[in-house]
Amino acid sequence: MHQARTVEELRLHADAWRALKRPVALVPTMGALHAGHLALVERAKELADHVVVSIFVNPTQFGPDEDFAKYPRQLEGDLEKLHEIGADLAYTPSVEEMYPDGFATTIRVGGPAAAGLEDAHRPEHFDGVATVVAKLFTQCLPSVAVFGEKDYQQLLVIRRMVRDLDLPVTIVGAPTVREADGLALSSRNAYLSPEQRAGAPALYQALTAAADAIRGGADPDAACREQAGRLEEDGWRVDYLAARDAETLQAPAAGRPLRLLAAARLGAVRLIDNIAV
């Protein structure tokens, strides 16, 4: 497996593969790779001849009071996992490589990025996500990029950006990978204490209970409020637990596909999750 630390090194490999008419897939990550990330790599291997995995903890998508400084960084272990799974190249740029001195351009996305979910609690987050992903696309020029459905709002934001800017890349969403008890895999799960880890599946359970109620005829908003209240009673601080249109993240309408999305804090650890209805 190759490792590239600069745009020039990345393009050297990606351009050579494309010259041979061999499609390239990109899997953007922030590292601290787990089975969920590796499932994205496996999906990418099905879609293209060569797979590039970026590892970059992007400072512009973190707010001033968030966990950028302590976000888990495990580069050596990540590279071993990517080598074992058969990725072709790990792209590991520095902050200075991605945002050189004088960098002054930001992509601002509306639509699903202004749905009153993550954006209401992390107002600059999706500007940072859209900007870094657009840079990765122009640096690598993949034919396809794979993102996890666990960050569902992010997935729709990227799809909207690609559509609006006519970027020549196909965006593929991959299902959320879960622990046996339902907890969605996340690098931030490492922050959970043993006691918190035991209680963390309650977020997924609340989503499934709300989904079951909706399928049984309950009002979507009422079902979500009920489950959010139960989480609060159990000591969670709920940012949102909401039913939205699965394609637009707007308010649900009759006959349209639904997605339930949630974000809540267990102690100092903020977890997000979502499921289809």
Give the pLDDT confidence of 247-258 residue by residue, as tens digits.
999 999 989 999
Per residue in 130-154, pLDDT (tens digit) is 999 999 999 999 999 999 999 999 9
Predicted model pTM? 0.96
**Per the domain annotation, does 81 fall within a domain?**
yes
**Per the domain annotation, does 182 fall within a domain?**
no
- pLDDT at residue 178 in the model: 98
Domain stop point among 126, 142, 174 = 174
Q: In sequence order, what are the beta bridge partners of 271?
A: 264
- CATH number of residue 222's parent domain: 3.30.1300.10
**pLDDT confidence bin for 127, thresholds 50/70/90:** very high
**Per the domain annotation, does 234 fall within a domain?**
yes
Nearest to 262 by CA among 196, 209, 219, 216: 209
Q: In sequence order, what are the beta bridge partners of 261?
A: 242, 274
Torsion of CA 179, 184, 190, 195, to 10 degrees: -70
Domain stop point among 152, 174, 196 = 174
Range of the domain at 41: 2-174
Per residue in 16-56, pLDDT (tens digit) is 999 999 999 999 999 999 999 999 999 999 999 999 999 99
Q: Which residues in 139-164 are b (16+ Cβ under 10 Å) and which e?
A: bbbbbbbbbbbbbbbbbbbbbbbbee
Domain stop point among 174, 196, 218 = 174
Domain count, the chain: 2
Whole-angstrom distance, CA of residue 218 vs CA of residue 212: 9
Q: How far is CA 270 from the centre of its chain?
A: 14
Contacts of 170 (CB under 8 A, 6+ apart): 143, 144, 145
The reply to whether 81 and 167 lie within a common domain is: yes
The reply to whether 169 and 191 lie within a common domain is: no
**Per the domain annotation, does 180 fall within a domain?**
no
* Residue 188 scores a pLDDT above 90: yes
- pLDDT at residue 67 in the model: 87
Q: Has 37 been annotated as catalytic?
A: yes
The reply to whether 221 and 95 lie within a common domain is: no
- pLDDT at residue 8 in the model: 98
Catalytic residue chosen out of the listed positions 2, 13, 37, 125: 37
The reply to whether 39 and 144 lie within a common domain is: yes
**Per the domain annotation, does 264 fall within a domain?**
yes
The reply to whether 138 and 266 lie within a common domain is: no
**Per the domain annotation, does 179 fall within a domain?**
no
- pLDDT at residue 70 in the model: 86
The reply to whether 112 and 192 lie within a common domain is: no
The reply to whether 22 and 110 lie within a common domain is: yes
The reply to whether 7 and 81 lie within a common domain is: yes
The reply to whether 101 and 168 lie within a common domain is: yes
The reply to whether 99 and 224 lie within a common domain is: no
* Residue 115 scores a pLDDT above 90: yes
**Per the domain annotation, does 181 fall within a domain?**
no
The reply to whether 268 and 157 lie within a common domain is: no
Per residue in 212-229, pLDDT (tens digit) is 999 999 999 999 999 999
Mean pLDDT of 262-269: 97
* Residue 167 scores a pLDDT above 90: yes
Q: How confident is the prediction for the chain on average, in pLDDT?
A: 97
Per residue in 67-113, pLDDT (tens digit) is 898 898 999 999 999 999 999 999 999 999 999 999 999 999 999 99
The reply to whether 25 and 160 lie within a common domain is: yes
- CATH number of residue 149's parent domain: 3.40.50.620
**Per the domain annotation, does 198 fall within a domain?**
yes
